[in-house]
Structure 1
Amino acid sequence: MVRRRTGGCRERMMRTAERIGRVIPGDLRRLQIEASDPAASAWVAANAGSGKTHVLALRVIRLLLDGVDPAKILCITFTKAAAANMANRVFDELRRWTALDDIELDATIKQISGIEPDAARRTLARRLFAMALETPGGLKVQTIHAFCTRLLHHFPFEANVAARFSVLDEAAQAQLLNEISLGVLLDAALAPEEALGRALASAIAGTSDQTFKDVIGEAIRKRDAVRAWVDHGGSIEAAIAALCGTLGVGGDDTIERVESEMTEGPIFPASQWAAAAEALERGGKSDHEQARRLLAASAASAPQRAGFYQQVFVTGKLEPRQQILTRSTELANLELAERLCRERERMLGLIERRKAVACRDRTAALITIADAVLSRYQAMKDRRGQLDYDDLIDKALALLGAQGAAWVHYKLDQGIDHVLIDEAQDTSPKQWEIIARLTAEFFAGSGARLIRRTIFAVGDEKQSIFSFQGAAPREFAVMHHRFEKLSKAAEHEFRHVRFRHSFRSGPNVLGAVDAIFARPEAFAGLSVEAGNTVHESLPDAAPGLVEIWELIKPASKREIEAWDAPFDQLTETSPQVRLAAKIAKNVKAWMKQGSRAGDVLVLVRQRGPLFEAIIRALKDLQIPVAGADRLVLTEHIAVMDLMVLADALLLPDDDLALATVLKSPLFGFDDADLFDLAWKRKSSLRAALRAKAQANARFAQALAKLEQFGEWAHEMPFTFYARVLGRAGGRKRFLARLGHEADDALDEFLNLALDYERRKTPSLQGFLAWLRTAQTDVKRDMEITRDEVRVMTVHGAKGLEAPIVVIADTTTAPAGPPQRQPRLLSLPGATAQAPNCLVWAGAKA
């Protein structure tokens, strides 16, 4: 297998496809012209790597070339990075036009539009770059949230928002919710007899601390559903009463009452348990076990009795026991056997009723606490003049749908004539409704006839893998039919275009993907119109190779682990570790054959043991690896060292903090140095360092640095850490020990220090407390062309490409809805000029 040394940068792929001599079939070129035609609305379904973003940029350019004012074009993208990429594509192409001579410019215009340009169009083409730059507010290529922010700032009175509101980012929102949640729980704990206190006691009794926190967080994220449910009932009490009817329990039912009925039933009263146990003792082994259960229930205290008694009739998983008595004992005690069978049926009903009561109680507790948190959260946002991302969508939707919104629509009608949506399959239902209301005048009244107005959407249902963020891929097809119907009613031309050619991969890889999704059970759920996938390669696409490795199975004999081995550490014989080693060895072999480390992209389902094992295996073979594509900032070792440095300075007698920071790259102590320092000391570690510094140059140097850091600690948090990382050489030390992947974590850490100083009254101790309560994720840019192997999740790799793609973890049973799982195989690939290698690798744990 021959591999060329290609960088694999997605941005470079489509923009240079024409200029590097790619052979583009005539039918594909006609489809591109048809989709980008500014005279008609278009709905484009495009496979991965088929150039849909390229066509979107072409449509913007052709709209400008047709004389459309740049201010009247709105292009909505899924992410800020995509918006910047789109704007760059348009500006780069328009800038290139300014330097072309007449012949080259005419050829370019004809190639993208099929029209022979005249002198006037040629002159306009050369002015487009300046026009786009000089447009007030710039070319409107933005995310839906950015558009809503701009809209609400234009109409704050109509939207009932603060005139100069600020937007809460995810980190600030998490911080605020943490503070409010803590306040609500403290108030609940101080008033145990009130509704909030009773709700807290009920919630804590049924869940662990972490589970409770997660459930409250989920309720806050789904606050629309929570509010809708409560509002539908009229109050929390009414909503819970309705829930009781649904669950089939009474409002006065309690767990204690149900359990009392379990042990005091008329069929088999507790007074007869001992006698029944005596009869069972004369039976077989399983009868003896039943006798012990009955005696244990008889001897148990009232609160525990139901738990012991139910074991006679159900298993530990609360499943009915198939046999209560052995056959011989049943024949010898027919009356007892008959009563036990009837009692089992009664108990099963009561167990289900207890589950329903527990469900009601936990739901009531959750809703009560969540409602209190949400009420305070909303009040705090109103007081501060802040909106979060969900508020932006909700307020914009309400603004465009309000009865008095005619003025808003009139003003917008003067400003937007063409709406373009990128990655439309990841648009949520609420976002679609905003777009629908925004474009309502396109197809009604004078707005439908006096001005040519269009809507353009491009996406691919198969690539929608962000349902956890609200994306609804089925809405892509629903909105397609909705806009098509509106266009036909207004006598507008509406086109449905489908791109199947791939600019990335060759026929071997594409054929393998089509073969996999040729089976109905494989393509079910990929799209509304269920059907097998169809991909086509370009005529000049290089050949590729698909390898399927043998499944790695667990060892037949379980390896005995050391008693002090970490609980979450994989053994050397585990399938994950063996698969990781195999991947690393193959990468090493590919590199010896001429491939670069940067040519390899390894995909996993989620960041977990296999993810870490692959990175570790690559590093063990000294293969350059980019590290994790996403990390929790406070869990990165460099950030942890910086935080513990502050702990050691703020509390000089904290020996553990000082020992930890001395072993960090900032000081470079090893175990022997630390042992020499701590051995036979009579006081704190700081005092021992000061005492031994007189006779040990290494200790003296460390003490001097520590005291210097102590002086800097009186400065602002950003100034302190900037000096530690800069003037003191801390960044160089971290990078030397951890590699350049630590750069992203250190930069984000400094950004958070600046952000903290803007939000709070700054202090080093306050910064540490603020940072430890915030859950800050850092998403590293994996498109940067470094010569390193990239190990990523399938979600994180969306839109990336590489000549060699390894798909690991293909046999783990999916945890989410089955309809969503096939979309995770939307494969990145190499540029079609370079051969591809696609590897399926499975590890069965």
Structure 2
Amino acid sequence: MNAPGFDDTIRAAASDAQKRAAHHGVSVFVEANAGSGKTRVLVDRVVNILLQGVAPEEILCVTYTKAAAAEMKDRLFTRLGRWSVAGAEELERDLKEQLGHDDLPVGQIEDARRLFARALETPGGLKIQTIHAFCENLLRRFPLEAGAPPGFDTLDEAEAARRIDAARQRVLCALPQETVDLVLRTGGPDAFASIMGWARGRRHDFRDALDRAGGPDGLVDTLYATLGLETGATADALKAEAWAQAPHDHLEETVIVQRNHGGKTDAGRADLIEQALKSARAEDAFDLYVQVFFTDKGRGTPAKSLLTASCDKVAPTVKPMLERECARLEKVRDQVRAAAVAEASAAAIHIAARFVEAYEDELQRRRALDFDDLVRLAGDLLRPENAFSGWVGYKLDGTLAHALIDEAQDTAPRQWDMIRGLTAEFFAGAGARESGRTLFIVGDEKQSIYSFQGAEPARFMEEGDRLAAAASAAELGFERPGLDVSFRSAPEILAAVDQAFAPEAAAFMAPETKFQASDRPFARYQSHRAARMNTPGCVEFWPAVPKPESVEEASIFDPVDSSARGSARDILAETVAEEIRAMLARGDGVWEEARGAFSQRPVRPGDIAILVWRRTGGFFEEVIRQLKLKGVPVAGADRMVLKEQTAVKDMLALARFAITPGDDLALAELLKSPFFDPADGGPPAIDDDVLLDLARRRTSTRRGTLWSALFTSDDPRLFEAREALKAVRDAADSDRLYDLFASFLNARTPTGETRWARVYARLGEEACDPLEEFLARALDHEREGGGALSSFLAAIGTEDTQLKREMSHDRDEVQVMTVHASKGLERPVIILPDTTRSPLTGKGDAILTHPEAGLIWSQRKAEDPPAVAELRETAANRLKAEHGRLLYVALTRARDRLIVCGWRQGTGALGQISDDSWYARLAEHWGGEGWDETDTPLSARIEDIGAGLRFGPAPVALGEAERARRAVMAVPDWACIPARSEQSGVRGVAPSSFLGGEEADFEPPVLSPLADPGAHRFRRGDVIHKLLQTLPDLDRERRREAAERFVAAQPGFSDTDRQVMIEETLGILDHPDFAPLFGPGSRAEVSLVGRAPDLPGNVIVRGQVDRLVVTDSEVLIVDYKTNRPPPEDVAAVAKVYIGQLATYRALLRAVHPGKTVRCALLWTDAARLMEVADEVMDAVLDGATA
């Protein structure tokens, strides 16, 4: 049997396709299956372009996420860095493999070595960035031409949410009462948020529709015309008109016939007609009248029989009259429904228009842009019809030669328009052929899952066709290779994925309909080929957990929206958590690849990811809870609502207590929080008995509050809490909110640790992100002049913004996340538990986007007029199609093992599985040859649940013995590399300790941070150094604000100290004599490591220059010093400072031979630059004994 590894034949074919895609000289459009190595192709292509001598700044790589950009940069710099130090033979071999031929041009090896330095030294860095980052840079370069505020701020998600909330409040306060009543009748109180949320997500498209129509009234006119109505028509008016046209005389005759000759049904209809005839309001009469002709109280289908045979026999003219009325009313009913939709939609249009105006006004007040604005303005800037597009194109023409677009299937139409404008000159006539510029696009239609951000997979396919046509017209090279070989997943997993999408693989649709009216997820499906061989994986399909016959009665203390204990959802969550604990205990094997060879090792927590469709429904939180209960390391939620996090709730309780010490609930929450619970793992100092005793003693105090009982208590267990909360109360009236909260968290407790440490000990490290965000919000509130503690508490309490946690992939923890968040991730073990729901479950699709009318709001699907029903069906089909693509993404995250399970929900004794759910699709297509029935972890928990299915061999349990053996015997790669011979006696020193003997005493010794005032002096120097390092990179007008924010975050300084440090720093930066220090060619905090001819041969110096200026003829070294008062001349300067400069000078003379190297000290207190002469440094260096 062959050894585990990659199939050489398949890998060779895949490598050929990758090389075609990475070729630098042609434009390329690539459709790449999941796991086919597209990131490697991107990096290969960038390297190939660099090897042709293209300047790094002429290359633009656009990725979809910051994480993808960071990964690409890391891979690129890793390769270039390795080349910079590789031996000649190794580098030659790599280059031949990279370029695909053996004829290397003269100097190619030396050029390759220099690529790393060229990339590092590129002004502004390599342009590997998200599309939003690129657009932001473009707008900052051309703000006036783009119509952007110069020096604009870019809103992050949290700040955008605050602006949205402010706009929403402004709109709600100004709405006419009749509009409020109409919206409440139609959709309830949540409808306002839905309308404005729709407007926020589609703001620019809606703004365009408003502009085309001349405002909201014009849109309303278009809306009524779309629905086949005259503008202003109302449902009540149409009902009244329809009732007036009813044959009232014949209806009275009908009542008599039905009462005298009919049965029970006839009598009921006669009652309805009689009530309608007697009704005072025509609208009410119509509502009664239609119930005669249609089922479901007038909302359903026409009645099968309008008159019984006995009545028809007595009065043969009545039945034809009723049938004519039924036909007339069916048309009227559609018009009435359309009018009701039009009225609601008109109100929604006006609300949406007001919201857009209010939100844009909020942005203008702050001179800010959000992410959508960046793309919109950048796209408009590059449009041919823009008056400035020619100028902008001319300025960009010399700075962009190659563009690479990653994850192109998730690119929205506006982003495509911007890319078209950016690269239009690439294919413009003879100049294009001479320039050699190329466009590279890579994506996968099957992984387009961001329609809520505007992505359209159809547009991705269209751009491929357009690129091919543009290249052909310009007679330029073009390639369209397909990457179908997966290097990620085991063959069994890929076979199961192909089987799940067999209908898509077998039947392709016509291009003009592929993404419009069909719920098929793909236009075409490219089956997978597995590069891995003899590395078996497996797919497990568990039976869905049925609804239990009975569930444990919920506790009165449970949240009102919590699921009943023992529900199918909770059973599955506990089973999944238990199976993860079991597979870790068994040491189930997963494959590990190194240099193309595979070996098995025991699974670790970080190898496992649980992917859910949506965070709602309770499973997300429950499975995390179960994993924690079972002691399995778990990363926690990847998104959070700030005010719902436990640590933040405790901080909010602290704020409530500080405002109102008589708030007993807030104080009780604080006393039971981690803040007063030592982090030693023992029982809490303030247990339930202590708290209950304190509560009982409230009545004996003068104020009768928990705080008064605590204040007068002599229980030593409460001393810490009393003193800490007294300090909080004393600081509560201050408007320095950050200091209040940070001081409370940073304070040392009687047991030695900070309250930060206590929070970590109780809640885990995932509590860090929400607490840090809470402190950041406090600082922002303070900086913006938001007012005192009460206003901050109110602002946090009304905010529902979701915050994204950056999940570290280095920590060995199980990750629980949505499929959307897993994009780009791969894990040996993937578990999909949330599979039985319909994609239409809970979707807010009452507000439908219309291309001409902007929006149509139809709250009830059953009452849709025909035009709306068609629009809703199209939207539903697109949702179903994307749901299928989401399943593809989820399945292809797995490398070695895939577990699919679910729980039944809804009505029925056992619950239901939605027909259009993932589980239903997989149940239909999985099974047959190669699939074996098997027991699952559910078998032992649920009687008669039935067997599951498994495709591929069961994982091998390696056990604790193998885990221990690998821990002892595993040899890291570096251990196999021969160590370089070391020079005897070589030691590393810092420049500040380079002098020996008495000179070591020139600098006062470093003191303990607790020993003031020395510690204060050193910390003051650190703050000024940091300001001088970072502020020069900011625009001049933004420096003071940034300095104030940074200094405010440094604890332990008075307001006077803070102001002095800021003025001292800005005085230096604004001083005209120091302009060259902070201008082009200058760098901050430059690290230096090495030997130099002027230094002893047994010493390697490691140091950091505060400011370095390199010009064509000289090098200037500047070291900042914050001594107060500073010395008046060089003779009074401590020799250790002179020794530092002399050491830096020696190193930089070796780096820059032929250039004059000058050295100076910058005394920040006096804003004075003191140059040190060479002879002074020579004298100090001659006495060095290092």
TM value normalised by structure 2: 0.64
8 Å contact from structure 1 (residues 35, 42) kept in 2: yes
Q: How does 1:753-792 map to 2 (within 5 A)?
A: 753-761=778-786, 763-792=788-817
Choose which of 806, 812, 829 in structure 2 pairs with 1:804. 829
For residue 99 of structure 1, the aligned residue among 85, 108, 133 is 85
Contact 2:652–2:793 (CA under 8 A) maintained in structure 1: yes
| Matching residue within 152, 157, 172 for 2:139 | 152
Quick check: 1:356 aligned with 2:338? yes
| CA 383–549 in structure 1, closer or farther in 2 if over 3 Å, else same | closer
Name the CA distance, whole Å, in 1 between partners of 2:624 and 2:554: 23
AA at the equivalent of 1:660: E
- Residue 421 of structure 2 is matched in structure 1 by 437
1:648 alignment partner AA: F
Q: Equivalent of 1:47, from 25, 28, 33?
A: 33
Look up the match of 1:175: 162
Opposite residue 715 of structure 2, the aligned amino acid is N
Specify whether residues 184 and 548 from structure 1 end up closer, same or farther in structure 2 by C-alpha distance, changes over 3 A only: closer
Describe the shift of the 1:371–1:101 C-alpha distance in structure 2 as closer, same or farther (beyond 3 A): same
Within 5 A, what are the aligned runs for 1:126-145? 126-145=113-132
Contact 2:521 2:881 in 1 (8 A): no
1:166 to 135, 144, 153: 153
One of 722, 729, 733 as aligned partner of 2:742: 722
**Aligned equivalents of 2:260 and 2:93: distance in 1?**
96
Summarize the Cα distance change of 1:830–1:110 in structure 2 as closer, same or farther, 3 Å threshold.
farther
Letter in 2 for 1:747: E
Question: Which moved further from structure 2: 27-36 or 560-569?
Answer: 560-569
Tell me the equivalent position of 2:660: 651
- Structure 2 match to 1:579: 572
Task: Quote the residue 1:635 is aligned against.
Answer: 644
Q: Give the alignment of 1:117-266 within 5 angstroms.
A: 117-188=104-175, 192=176, 198-261=178-241, 264-266=244-246
Quote the offset at 1:486 in angstroms: 1.2
CA contact (8 A) 2:261 2:311 kept: no
Counterpart in 2 of 1:550?
543
- Letter in structure 2 aligned against 1:378: E
Which whole-Å deviations, capped at 9, do the CAs of 1:135-155 have from their partners, x for residues lacking one?
Answer: 111111111111111112212
Q: Are the aligned partners of 2:28 and 2:441 in contact in 1 as well (CA < 8 Å)?
A: yes
| Partner residue in 2 for 1:115 | 101
* Greater relative contact order, per chain length (Cα 8 Å cut-off, separation 6+): 1
Residue 841 (structure 1) aligned with residue 901 (structure 2): yes
> Which residue pairs with 1:739 in the alignment?
764
Q: What is the CA distance between 1:247 and its match in structure 2?
A: 1.7
- Contact 1:71–1:135, Cα closer than 8 Å, also in 2: yes
8 A Cα contact 2:158 2:803, kept in partner? no
Change (3 A) 1:830 1:376: closer
Q: 1:80 to 1:289 in 2, by over 3 A?
A: same
Looking at structure 1, the residues matched to 223 and 523 of structure 2 have their Cα atoms a distance apart, in angstroms, of: 37
1:601-660, Cα deviation, whole Å (9 max, x unpaired) = 122211122323322333333322222222222222221221232122112333333333
Instruction: Give 1 or 2 for the bigger CA radius of gyration.
Output: 2
Which residue in 2 is equivalent to 1:819? Answer: 881
Amino acid at match of 2:174: D
8 Å contact from structure 1 (residues 426, 466) kept in 2: yes
Point out the more displaced range, 632-641 or 407-416.
632-641
**Change over 3 Å in CA distance of 1:515–1:207 after alignment to 2:** closer
* Structure 1 CA distance for aligned equivalents of residues 718 and 128 of structure 2: 57
How much has 1:44 moved relative to structure 2? 1.7
- Residue 725 of structure 2 corresponds to 706
- Pick closer, same or farther for the CA change 1:639–1:686 going to 2, 3 Å: farther
User: CA 1:482–1:363 in 2, change beyond 3 Å: closer, same or farther?
Assistant: same
What is the alpha-carbon distance in structure 2 between the residues aligned to residue 321 and residue 420 of structure 1? 59
After superposition, the Cα gap between the structure-2 partners of 1:214 and 1:830, relative to the gap in structure 1 and judged at 3 Å, is closer
Q: Determine if the alignment matches structure 1 residue 394 to structure 2 residue 376.
A: yes
- Would the aligned equivalents of 1:50 and 1:500 in 2 still touch at CA under 8 Å? yes
1:597 deviation in Å? 2.4
Cα shift readout 1:424-449 (whole Å, capped 9, x = no counterpart): 11111111111111111111145313
The Cα shift of 1:417 comes to: 0.4
Alignment of 1:420-499 (within 5 A): 420-499=404-483
CA distance in 1, matches of 2:522, 2:501: 14
Q: Secondary structure at the match of 1:67?
A: coil
| Cα distance in 2 between the residues matched to 1:64 and 1:530 | 36
Secondary structure in 1 aligned to 2:674?
A: coil
Q: What does the per-residue CA deviation read over 1:43-62, in whole Å, with 9 as the maximum and x for residues that have no partner? A: 12211111101110111111
Matched AA of 2:608: V
Contact kept, 8 Å, 2:30 with 2:441, in 1: the verdict is yes
1:321-332 mapped onto 2 (5 Å cutoff): 322=303, 327=308, 330=311
Contact 1:258 1:353 in 2 (8 A): yes
For 1:207 and 1:278, the matched residues in 2 are separated by 39
Cα pair distance change 1:365/1:596, threshold 3 Å: same
Alpha-carbon distance in 2 for matches of 1:529, 1:695: 72
Question: Going by fraction, where is strand more abundant, 1 or 2?
Answer: 2
Deviation at 1:674, TM superposition (A): 4.3
Q: Which runs of 5+ in 2 are unaligned?
A: 509-513, 588-602, 678-685, 841-875, 906-1186
Q: Is the 8 A contact 1:802 1:828 kept in 2?
A: no
Q: CA deviation at 1:805?
A: 1.2
Q: Which residue of 2 aligns with 1:606?
A: 614
Q: Structure 1 counterpart of 2:214, which letter? A: G
> For residues 706-756 of structure 1, what are the alpha-carbon distances to aligned partners after superposition, in whole Å with 9 as ceiling and x for unaligned?
212223433522222222322263333333332222222222222333333
1:324–1:340 CA contact under 8 A, matched in 2: no
SS at match of 1:450: helix
The CA RMSD measured in Å over matched residues stands at 3.4
How big is each residue's C-alpha offset from its partner over 1:530-559, in whole Å with a ceiling of 9 and x where there is no partner? 44432222245611011111232334x465
The residue number in structure 2 matching 1:14 is none
SS in 2 for 1:547: strand
Using the aligned pairs only, state the percent identity. 38
Distance 1:333 1:606, change over 3 A: farther
Check whether the contact 1:426–1:472 (CA below 8 A) recurs between aligned residues.
Answer: yes
**Contact 2:505 / 2:526 at 8 angstroms: preserved in 1?**
no
Amino acid at match of 1:508: E
Matched letter for residue 843 of structure 1: W
Code of the residue aligned with 1:602 in structure 2: it is I
Contact 1:599-1:803 at 8 Å conserved across structures: yes
Aligned-partner SS, 1:44: strand
Native 8 Å contact 1:652 1:686 kept in 2: no
**2:101 counterpart letter in structure 1:** I
Residue pair 1:505, 1:541 contacting (<8 A) in 2 also: no
- Could you tell me how far apart the structure 2 residues matched to 1:601 and 1:22 are? 30
Between Structure 1 and Structure 2, the one with more helix by share is: 1
Q: Could you tell me which of 708, 715, 725 is aligned with 1:690?
A: 708
**CA offsets per residue over residues 110-158 of structure 1, 9 Å max, x none?**
1111233355111111111111111111111111111111112212222
Residues 744 and 780 in structure 1, CA contact (< 8 A), matched pair in contact too: yes
Q: Residue in 2 aligned with 1:615?
A: 624
Partner of 1:11: none
Cα 1:461–1:423 change in 2 (3 A) is same
* Mapped contact 1:505–1:829 kept (Cα < 8 A): no
TM-score by length of 1: 0.88
**How many positions carry a matched residue from both structures?**
817
2:604 corresponds to 1:596 = yes
**Match for residue 25 of structure 1 among 11, 32, 49:** 11
Whether the 8 Å contact between 1:277 and 1:290 is mirrored in structure 2 is no
Give the C-alpha shift of residue 106 in structure 1: 0.5
Letter of the 1:30 counterpart = D
Letter in 2 for 1:807: L
Q: Deviations over 1:744-800 (max 9, x none)?
A: 222222233333344444533332233334433222333423332222211111111
Is residue 83 from structure 1 mapped to residue 69 from structure 2 by the alignment?
A: yes
Give, as a single letter, the amino acid of the residue that structure 2 aligns with 1:722: A
CA shift in 2, pair 1:41/1:572, >3 Å: same
